[in-house]
């Protein structure tokens, strides 16, 4: 992999003192513990926050039970989408041995992702990259709005729960970078947060201070916007839509811990409904196995619920886009 200067977009030279230098702007980028670093400041919000590696399990009993659980459980929606999307993209690319994948905001990495090709991870958290380095071909300490990769290098660019963290005024630049590093005919696969018109979101917004505190700032969701606007951004940047859906598991029937995350706080003081809802959710989350069982049962009701839940009442989207190729006349 040839790295480029994230600002000048020209090839970097590897130096004798374990780093990279740009001959145009003179910038030097060190290699720390085997990881090229393009950031000079620590991001105090994200550093060390998402370091867990998403693992596969090899015990035979778990391998038998997990497919059943993942096929139904409400908490496995992301995994189902990822596998389906990657299988489709792999088939379209007709390259099964050397598919180049970029994992945006990779955290500690995903073992399942590494099955589909050679994965490069990029993140602003150095501690997360230390974990991801164990399973990915290469990891880069850099910001996704100025990536040090050559044009059209990757076959697939992937992210999960990342783009909802990008501030609205910076989102087009990030998507432009994603388009730039994706090869013609390559794919962009993402699952991320969006704004919602659900009853709970609307009610939460009636207290702007608490909404900012618990819906936006607590997890860094600074890029929430309606799903229609999200789809439009990708199309306007130049991607061709393959799949554009709002997530039915992020409506009113959702993971049992969701309402605890949102409302186990000062919000309970303002509603007679929220307090008992949180209490019930905490009861079903009190034990790991009870929580897993509850999410499995809830998953059975999602297909029916999705028929009556408006798309704009869901707060997550799943998308697959393709970068047009010469065969498309572009």
CATH of the domain at 119: 3.40.50.150
Report pLDDT for 148. 97
Q: Which of 250, 318, 299, 258 is nearest to 282 (CA)?
A: 258
Q: Which of 214, 39, 108, 71 is nearest to 30 (CA)?
A: 39
The CA-atom distances, in angstroms, between 39 and each of 26, 33, 232, 247, 256 are: 15, 14, 31, 34, 37
**pLDDT value, residue 78:** 83
Question: Closest Cα partner for 326 from 158, 154, 186, 232?
Answer: 186
CA distance 185 to 93: 8
pLDDT for the residue 91: 85
The two structure tokens encoding residue 319: 């998308």
Q: Is it the case that residue 279 has pLDDT exceeding 90? A: yes
- The predicted pLDDT at position 167 comes to 94
pLDDT-derived band at 194 (thresholds 50, 70, 90) equals very high
3 belongs to a structural domain? no
Element spanning 301, H or E: helix 288-308
Please name which of 235, 192, 243 lies closest in space to residue 323, comparing C-alpha atoms: 235
Nearest to 153 by CA among 9, 320, 294: 9
User: Mean pLDDT, to the nearest integer, of 108-129?
Assistant: 92
In a domain, 7, yes or no: no
Mean pLDDT over each residue of the chain, to the nearest integer: 89
- In what order do the strands lie in the sheet containing 316-322? 138-141, 118-123, 100-104, 154-160, 182-193, 316-322, 240-246
* pLDDT (0 to 100) of residue 67: 67
Q: Is residue 175 part of a domain?
A: yes
Residue 60 has pLDDT above 80, yes or no: no
pLDDT, residue 134, reads 93
Tell me what pLDDT residue 328 has. Answer: 67
**Cβ-contact 97, 324 below 8 angstroms:** no
Burial of residue 59 (CB within 10 Å: 0-12, 13-18, 19+) is exposed
Asked if residue 243 is part of any domain, the answer here is yes
Range of the domain at 278: 13-328
Neighbours of 202 (CB within 10 A): 11
Instruction: Name the CA dihedral angle for 204, 205, 208, 209, rounded to a multiple of 10 degrees.
Output: 20
236/122 Cα distance (integer angstroms)? 25
Query: Exposed, middle or buried: residue 67 (CB in 10 Å: 0-12, 13-18, 19+)?
Result: exposed
Name which of 14-18, 198-202, 222-226, 230-234 the model is least confident about: 14-18
Confidence at 56, pLDDT banded by 50, 70, 90: low
Beta bridge partners of 156: 101, 187
More reliable by pLDDT, 171 or 45: 171
Number of domain units in the chain = 1
Residue 2 lies inside a defined structural domain of this protein: no
In a domain, 164, yes or no: yes
Task: Inform me whether the pLDDT recorded for 61 exceeds 50.
Answer: no
Q: Are 229 and 196 in contact (CB under 8 A)?
A: no
Q: Give 159: exposed, middle or buried? Use CB within 10 Å, 0-12, 13-18, 19+.
A: buried
Residue 1 placed within a domain: no
Q: Is the pLDDT of residue 130 over 70?
A: yes
Does residue 135 lie within any of the structural domains? yes
213-238: b (≥16 Cβ within 10 Å) or e: ebbeeeeebbbbebbeebbebbeebe
Contact 143, 166 (CB under 8 A): no
Rounded to an integer, what distance in angstroms lies between the CA atom of residue 154 and that of residue 138? 13
At 92 the pLDDT is 86
């Amino acid at each position: 992999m040839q790295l480029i200067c994230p600002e000048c977009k020209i090839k970097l030279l590897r130096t004798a003192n374990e780093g990279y230098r740009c001959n145009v702007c003179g910038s030097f980028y060190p290699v720390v513990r085997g990881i090229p670093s393009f950031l000079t400041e620590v991001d105090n919000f994200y550093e060390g926050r998402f370091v867990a590696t998403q693992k596969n399990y090899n015990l035979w009993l778990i391998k038998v039970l997990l497919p059943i659980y993942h096929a139904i459980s409400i908490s496995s929606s992301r995994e189902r989408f990822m596998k389906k999307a990657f299988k489709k993209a792999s088939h379209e690319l007709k390259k099964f041995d050397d598919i180049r994948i970029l994992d945006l905001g990779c955290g500690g990495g995903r073992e399942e992702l590494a099955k589909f090709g050679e994965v490069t991870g990029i993140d602003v958290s150095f501690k997360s990259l230390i974990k991801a380095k164990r399973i990915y071909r290469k990891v880069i300490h850099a910001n996704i709005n100025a990536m040090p990769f050559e044009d059209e290098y990757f076959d697939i660019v992937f992210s999960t729960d990342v783009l909802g963290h990008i501030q609205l005024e910076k989102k087009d630049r990030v998507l432009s970078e994603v388009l730039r590093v994706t090869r013609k005919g390559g794919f962009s696969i993402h699952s991320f947060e969006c704004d919602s018109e659900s009853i709970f979101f609307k009610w939460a917004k009636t207290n702007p201070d608490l909404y900012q505190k618990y819906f936006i700032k607590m997890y860094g969701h600074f890029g929430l916007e309606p799903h229609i606007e999200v789809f439009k951004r990708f199309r306007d940047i130049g991607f061709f839509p393959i799949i554009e859906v709002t997530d039915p598991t992020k409506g009113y029937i959702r993971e049992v811990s969701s309402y605890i995350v949102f409302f186990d706080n000062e919000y309970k003081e303002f509603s007679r409904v929220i307090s008992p809802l949180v209490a019930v959710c905490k009861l079903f989350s009190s034990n790991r196995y009870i929580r897993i069982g509850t999410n499995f049962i809830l998953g059975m009701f999602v297909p029916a619920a999705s028929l009556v839940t408006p798309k704009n009442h869901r707060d997550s989207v799943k998308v697959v886009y393709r970068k047009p190729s010469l065969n498309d006349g572009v």
